[in-house]
């Protein structure tokens, strides 16, 4: 209720700060009877973890996850699954200079005003490090959705600053440090150079990410408020640094006519997917397609005007170890969030309509 | 929980279908002691109601609201406020031809698959008519936020199909049927002509809407999940036909550098508002700025390919009375939704941190 | 969240005050596809309604229910079911003398302190009249539980003041005005005389009620917090005037040894039901047995010491029309509440474990 | 939502099983700015922990708590407080003989039927060991309620099997192993002897516990459903082994007349406390008084009839280390649960009515 739990039936409550002893989460509502090991979760955590290339933060964290509960003899029991990820590389002194000032574009200012107290080490609770437990919980959700419905999740970067990245195939995503769905060596080299220059300049850059869920049955979602697309928008806008969310045609729908936008139906299925797989807040059985705008990291070395806690002018330069493009590591996070939304609606659909209807063939 | 309630502490539960006897809502959590009359609510309902120009649906509904509870001698008592809006102009026969088929781009298909049964009259529960109770509840929220914090809400259309509409001032919005913030007579005439041609063609068109909240104190919002911007995205994407949501710079942030995007601070306040008034999920004290993409209405006269319930091919032409641009009436709806999000966070802030901190001067 | 909704997945939000224009509720989460008419609901409302004998309040209310939404062509659609019950016999003047003082044992005092404002007419929101919508919602829940699982609900009065009422059979309950499960004419006459004397004295009396659910599958309930028995205790203690709740052996368990209390198991099932059908918060497949203590009505004619809003001494005598034993009409209310708890757990069980396991034969 | 979280605004999510690596909880919603150390929490955990006398389980657990998050430089930050309590003395082999059978009166049977899988070691999730994190969270709640409102909590045993224990003063509770509010040496000796004989016989016994909250302001609680007494009943009935709950007069109200039960008011305050400090679901400003019936432990050495997973007859004798009267350690648990209910209502009251009204002097 105070904003640290995600989901109603598959509910994930996270805890921890960037430089505390540990971060983690409690997953409440995972159905019983599913095989689950730490390796299932570690795979996704490793996709997100820092230090995997020179283009992301150099903080050294193995992000080794421990399952503390909810699994007995390798099988989920239906009771809460607690995940613990120790913090290993806290360097609180890196942040000493920002404890008394506010970084432009950062939660420093608002946390301090809301709570009257904050943990300034690494951004404390507002750090993107807190997406690690989410990715862990997402891995559990993904496994269940895969086994129960055959649902899969993919994501890729589509734009880095001014550089658009064409989509050539999901198989390329794991082969470069940008989650780019391309094998175009020249383009990848250009991305490398772009990031290297940015890092030298001490600045950061925005990005655009696409995420897709495949194999989703028709019938996930609630009408009016807990619409599937509304919950996706909530999940995505809640990821650190996200400033915009689109489903299907997104802002492209502004200039479309009804006769262009509405996906026609034939006995073989829908013709086109302008809807992004959601109509009236309920899944259509097509791919769910989502697009995100991610702002540039606010912690940069470029000096900026700000104020201190007393309201006096101060210049702020942020040292420490930061992602020059927080959008790079956003792909596995966005996939995890999409999985968390879908499992919640899958369980909700079972509650309301029973399992059978949700599995209705998609014509 | 089944998706018909909005908000946690100022919770609005709606009921009704487009062509049933009545629609309405129950507002649970309105603080006691506020003067409230039906006139306070009617004003906002009249801004949204159908039949106010030839560019919106010609359904004749007075949308006359009754307060059934929660107000004693003109003052809220802290108990649930039930609002009832009778349906007056049901013409169910208009929809007879779509009971057995699915309109492309419409919730017909997904409702039928999810529930195995649906009320086809006017779209039943999925009708945009169900935004009327939301606007009613929003009027209550707006009054409290105005009196308690001085918060105001404005919205306007910024684009109708290909026609961009420049912002010239909020005072113009009420003087034209498009909620356009302009007094440019030539532009308004062009919008009229555009809509007339579209209506004759039996087609529909998308739109872009901006909504703003002013006077918001610093400190509204929760970290991690119930971020203010995440809840706004949820609220906006949940409005019928919305396909995209932006906060502040929105998708413009993709091409921004950190040194451009992060709003600097001076003793006089923030310089710029790329953040849209939210940092780390918590309000900054600046204006909250939101932008929405609204898809074209799916109920159009243009014949389209579809299937019937048996999966056989069928052509669908929708008669009945529909908005050729559902974006036109979306402005007061989006304002209402934004108010519902803010009052919920206002109350949540009081719970967690007490009233004083929320009122902290914004430096 | 502000305390006017009951249930998480089958969620009932009530509204209204004793002497406002109408009372009612919105039921969110009723599964689609169930036949439902106003007659199904009216039957239960008539069991609870006032004026059915001289031993209950003489207020004349037909409690005629209207379904405003959620049912199409006689079948539930999965969308919210709104029930409206107009108030017909408001006599606000009866209560004029208590608007400025506080009845001993009544919510007058606490409502006024909490909200700073209250509707004094008939107790406003705190009136037992507000149990009518609950009974209506309960009727919907009972129908679904009956059709889906064969679950039934019965209740009876077991004690009226000092007079214990033996249980002789459920078939007797409908044949006397006390919901007594007995055909003992002498005992029933004694109850009549007892109530007549009490009414003449202007006083009121407590009662003890038993409620039972039969046919409940094994597996309803959640561990740790949303235990089935915890939710039953919450539901029952929330009924106006209830001061104690027991499950199974109840307070009798205080003097039992483990070798007496623990119900042994044989291949034919449990031997005994000390548990009241719940172990570890989860249903055992046996009858759920609940017992309630109901305090005497606080609105009595006997003069009592109190204070007025200014804190000055005042004598209070309550006229108006009141139940001299609010326990009499409590039986159908308690049955309804038990049904609301069970349907919520039935749906929750479907969400978490699927339908099949819940239907597991009870060995 | 799946039953492992308690509270809406001060929300406690627990995790862990009796014999897993650790148990713990995440507290979401603790207001910022309160001094908090592990010692504050350890004090209450030590009151509950096993092995403190020969009359409770001899399992050796230091129940040493670690704060993993939510506290910075000794002060709460408003972010989640995670508490971790490692399990130290797991002896899983003690339970080997019950993995295939069901203990009469135990959750073994229902967990297995609901989930189809269970962790049988020490009762897994259903173990009373899981009350430790609750006591930890309760300690945090108690500290805040004490500092903010001056609220205090006390509890004592009032009956052990057939032996009634008179109340002589709270100061005695800490001086004997039974939480008895008496200094009567003969009575205490009788309790010792009674427990020794019971332990030798391999049996167990029920108990009755009283819990009281003092200093509660008038105005805590919601009308209709989230009544303060309803939430207390939910909290108490949710404690392992509780079968009955009373508020104030409790079942004594059955034989009371209205003129006896309703507490009169004078300018000096209420005369009597039959209400137990709650009227209409809202606190009166008097002491909150609660009484609990606790059943005898189901894990006993006395051989009992049962069945195995195949439904075949089996005799069950439970070895391992169990409390012969689970009621003894229930006192600090019940105090903690009462604190968790009150802090939730304190925060809810701030949300709805602001802080000032809740602090209104109690006349």
Which CATH number characterizes residue D50's domain? 3.60.150.10
Structural domain includes residue D340: yes
Q: Where do we find the tokens 């996200």?
A: A242
pLDDT at position B118: 82
What is the sign, positive or negative, of the torsion defined by CA atoms of B219, B221, B227, B228? negative
Contacts of C171 (CB under 8 A, 6+ apart): none
Q: What is the mean pLDDT of residues D225-236?
A: 97
D66-67 vs B22-28, strand pairing mode: unpaired
In what helix (H) or strand (E) does residue D346 lie, and over which residues does it extend? Answer: helix D330-358
Q: What is the mean pLDDT of residues C138-163?
A: 97
- Over 80: is that where the pLDDT of A284 sits? yes
Query: Least CA distance to C247: which residue of chain D?
Result: D243
In what helix (H) or strand (E) does residue A138 lie, and over which residues does it extend? Answer: helix A131-149
In the structure encoding, which two tokens stand for residue C269, read together? Answer: 């099932």
Q: Tell me if C352 and A31 make a contact (CB, 8 A cut-off).
A: yes
Which of C2, C8, C16 is closest, CB to CB, to B69? C16
Flag whether B255 is marked binding.
no
Q: Tell me if B351 and D348 make a contact (CB, 8 A cut-off).
A: yes
Chains that touch A (3 or more CB pairs under 8 A): B, C, D
Whether A74 contacts chain D with CB within 8 A: no
pLDDT confidence tier of residue D122, bands split at 50, 70 and 90: confident
Which of A32, A223, A351 is closest, CB to CB, to C348? A351
Contacts of C320 (CB under 8 A, 6+ apart): C91, C94, C95, C122, C299
Which of D5, D80, D115 is closest, CB to CB, to A77? D115
- Over 50: is that where the pLDDT of C270 sits? yes
Q: Tell me if C24 and B68 make a contact (CB, 8 A cut-off).
A: yes
Flag whether C240 is marked binding.
yes
Instruction: Count contacts between B and D (CB, < 8 Å).
Output: 41
Q: Greater confidence, A166 or B2?
A: A166
Query: Least CA distance to B242: which residue of chain A?
Result: A250
Which of B223, B252, B263 is closest, CB to CB, to A125? B223
Note which residues in 283-322 of chain A have CB less than 8 A from chain B: 283-285, 293-300, 302, 304-307, 311-313
pLDDT tens per residue, range C172-209: 999 999 999 999 999 999 999 999 999 999 999 999 99
Strand order across the B22-28 sheet: B5-6, B11-15, B22-28, B81-86, B66-67
Q: Tell me if D3 and C360 make a contact (CB, 8 A cut-off).
A: no
Burial group, residue D87, by CB count within 10 angstroms (0-12, 13-18, 19+): buried
Q: Tell me if D28 and A69 make a contact (CB, 8 A cut-off).
A: no
Q: Are C17 and B44 in contact (CB under 8 A)?
A: no
Whether D79 contacts chain B with CB within 8 A: yes
What is the sign, positive or negative, of the torsion defined by CA atoms of B29, B34, B38, B44? negative
Beta-bridge partners for D67: D83
Which of B32, B79, B350 is closest, CB to CB, to D351? B350
Calculate how close chain B gets to D225, using CA atoms only, in Å.
Answer: 12
Coil, strand or helix: which one is A128?
Answer: helix
pLDDT tens per residue, range A298-343: 989 999 999 998 899 999 988 777 788 999 999 999 999 999 999 9
A49-53, B197-201, D126-130, range with greatest mean pLDDT: B197-201
Q: What is the mean pLDDT of residues D316-322?
A: 80
Calculate how close chain D gets to C334, using CA atoms only, in Å.
Answer: 14
C5-6 vs C71-72, strand pairing mode: unpaired
- Over 70: is that where the pLDDT of D88 sits? yes
In the structure encoding, which two tokens stand for residue A150, read together? Answer: 């055959």
Residue D166 burial (CB count, 10 A): 10
For chain A, what is the domain count? Answer: 1
pLDDT confidence tier of residue B360, bands split at 50, 70 and 90: very low
Structural domain includes residue A22: yes
Whether C227 contacts chain D with CB within 8 A: yes
Instruction: Count contacts between B and C (CB, < 8 Å).
Output: 154
pLDDT tens per residue, range C311-347: 999 999 887 777 889 999 999 999 999 999 999 999 9
Structural domain includes residue C291: yes
Structural domain includes residue D170: yes
D242-247 vs D264-266, strand pairing mode: unpaired
Structural domain includes residue B274: yes
Structural domain includes residue C129: yes
Q: What is the mean pLDDT of residues C100-125?
A: 89
pLDDT at position D362: 36
pLDDT tens per residue, range A28-84: 999 999 999 999 999 999 998 877 888 888 778 888 999 999 999 999 999 999 999
What is the rounded CA–CA span in Å between residue B46 and residue C142? 41
Instruction: List CB contacts (< 8 A) between B70 and chain D.
Output: none
Structural domain includes residue C54: no
Which of D109, D279, D352 is closest, CB to CB, to C105? D279
Burial group, residue B201, by CB count within 10 angstroms (0-12, 13-18, 19+): middle
Instruction: List CB contacts (< 8 A) between A105 and chain B.
Output: 258, 261-263, 274-275, 279
- Over 70: is that where the pLDDT of D87 sits? yes
- Over 50: is that where the pLDDT of B359 sits? no
pLDDT tens per residue, range B204-231: 999 999 999 999 999 999 989 999 999 9
Coil, strand or helix: which one is B304?
Answer: strand
Whether C80 contacts chain B with CB within 8 A: yes
Q: What is the mean pLDDT of residues B53-67?
A: 86
Which of A4, A22, A125 is closest, CB to CB, to D68? A22
- Over 90: is that where the pLDDT of B314 sits? yes
Q: What is the mean pLDDT of residues C249-270?
A: 96
Whether A207 contacts chain D with CB within 8 A: no
- Over 70: is that where the pLDDT of A130 sits? yes
Coil, strand or helix: which one is B361?
Answer: coil
Burial group, residue D256, by CB count within 10 angstroms (0-12, 13-18, 19+): buried
Q: What is the mean pLDDT of residues A278-304?
A: 96
Calculate how close chain D gets to A304, using CA atoms only, in Å.
Answer: 27
Chains that touch B (3 or more CB pairs under 8 A): A, C, D
What is the rounded CA–CA span in Å between residue C72 and residue C76? 6
- Over 70: is that where the pLDDT of B34 sits? yes
Structural domain includes residue D42: yes
pLDDT tens per residue, range D21-58: 999 999 999 999 999 999 999 999 999 887 788 887 87
Instruction: Provide the strand spans (E) within B129-219.
Output: 152-160, 163-164, 207-214
pLDDT confidence tier of residue D193, bands split at 50, 70 and 90: very high
Average confidence score pLDDT of chain C: 92
Q: Tell me if C351 and A347 make a contact (CB, 8 A cut-off).
A: yes
What proportion of chain D, given as a percentage, has pLDDT over 90? 78
pLDDT tens per residue, range B253-292: 999 999 999 999 999 999 999 999 999 999 999 999 999 9
Instruction: List CB contacts (< 8 A) between D125 and chain A.
Output: 77, 79
Q: Which of C14, C114, C137, C226 to mutate to probe the D interface, most D CBs <10 Å? A: C114
What is the rounded CA–CA span in Å between residue B283 and residue B149? 14
- Per DSSP, A55 falls in state T
pLDDT confidence tier of residue D97, bands split at 50, 70 and 90: low
Q: Tell me if A275 and B105 make a contact (CB, 8 A cut-off).
A: yes
What is the three-state SS of chain C? CCCCEECCCCEEEEECCCCCCEEEEEEECCCCCCECCHHHHHHHHHHHCCCCCCCCCCCCCCCCCEECCCEECCEECCCCEEEEEECCCCCHHHHHHHCCECCCCCCHHHHHHHHCCCCCHHHHHHCHHHHHHHHHHHHHHHHHHHHHHCCEEEEEEEEECCEECCCCCHHHHHHCCCCECCCCHHHHHHHHHHHHHHHHHCCCECEEEEEEEECCCCCCCCCCCCCHHHHHHHHHHCCCCEEEEEECCHHHHHHCEHHHHCCEEECCEEECCCCCCEECCEECCCCEEEEEEECCCCCCCCCEEEEECCCCEEEECCCCCCCCCCCCCHHHHHHHHHHHHHHHHHHHHHHHHHHHHHCCCCC
Q: Tell me if A79 and D23 make a contact (CB, 8 A cut-off).
A: no
Can you tell me the ipTM of this complex?
0.96
Range of the domain at A251: 5-358
Whether C9 contacts chain A with CB within 8 A: yes
pLDDT confidence tier of residue D1, bands split at 50, 70 and 90: low
Flag whether B54 is marked binding.
yes
Whether D356 contacts chain C with CB within 8 A: no
Predicted TM-score (pTM) of the model is 0.96
| Angle at alpha carbon of residue A248, lines to A246 and A252, rounded to 5° | 75
Q: What is the mean pLDDT of residues B290-298?
A: 96
Q: Are B30 and B129 in contact (CB under 8 A)?
A: no
Contacts of A332 (CB under 8 A, 6+ apart): A44, A47, A48, A135, A155, A179
What is the rounded CA–CA span in Å between residue D79 and residue B343? 21
Note which residues in 122-161 of chain A have CB less than 8 A from chain B: 125-126, 130, 159, 161
Which of D75, D81, D118 is closest, CB to CB, to A77? D118
Instruction: List CB contacts (< 8 A) between D130 and chain A.
Output: none
């Amino acid at each position: 209720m105070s904003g640290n739990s995600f989901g109603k039936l598959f509910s994930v409550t996270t805890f921890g700060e960037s430089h505390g002893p540990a971060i983690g989460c409690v997953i409440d509502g995972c159905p019983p009877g599913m095989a689950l090991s730490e390796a299932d979760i570690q795979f996704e955590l490793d996709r997100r973890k820092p230090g995997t290339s020179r283009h992301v933060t150099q903080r050294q964290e193995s992000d080794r996850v421990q399952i503390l509960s909810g699994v007995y003899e390798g099988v989920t029991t239906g009771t809460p699954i607690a995940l613990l990820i120790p913090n290993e590389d806290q360097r609180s002194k890196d942040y000493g200079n920002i404890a008394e000032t506010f970084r432009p574009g950062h939660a420093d200012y608002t946390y301090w005003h809301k709570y009257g107290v904050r943990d300034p080490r690494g951004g404390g609770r507002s750090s993107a490090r807190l997406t690690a437990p989410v990715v862990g919980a997402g891995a559990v959700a993904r496994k269940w959705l895969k086994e129960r419905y055959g649902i899969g999740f993919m994501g890729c970067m589509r734009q880095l600053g001014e550089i658009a990245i064409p989509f050539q195939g999901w198989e390329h995503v794991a082969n470069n440090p940008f989650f780019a769905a391309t094998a175009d060596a020249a383009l990848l080299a250009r991305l490398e150079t772009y990031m290297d220059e940015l890092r030298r300049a001490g600045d950061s850059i925005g990005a655009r990410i696409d995420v897709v869920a495949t194999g989703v049955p028709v019938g996930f979602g609630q009408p009016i408020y807990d619409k599937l697309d509304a919950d996706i928008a909530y999940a995505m806008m809640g990821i650190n640094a996200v400033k915009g969310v689109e489903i299907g045609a997104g802002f492209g729908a502004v200039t479309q006519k009804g006769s262009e936008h509405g996906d026609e139906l034939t006995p073989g299925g829908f013709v086109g997917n302008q809807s992004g797989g959601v109509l009236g807040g309920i899944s259509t059985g097509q791919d769910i397609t989502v697009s995100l705008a991610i702002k540039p990291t606010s912690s940069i070395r470029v000096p900026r005007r700000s104020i201190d806690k007393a309201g006096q002018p101060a210049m702020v330069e942020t040292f420490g170890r930061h992602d020059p493009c927080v959008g790079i590591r956003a792909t596995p996070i966005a996939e995890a969030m999409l999985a968390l939304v879908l499992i919640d609606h899958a369980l909700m659909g079972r509650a309301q309509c029973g399992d059978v209807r949700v599995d209705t063939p998609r014509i």
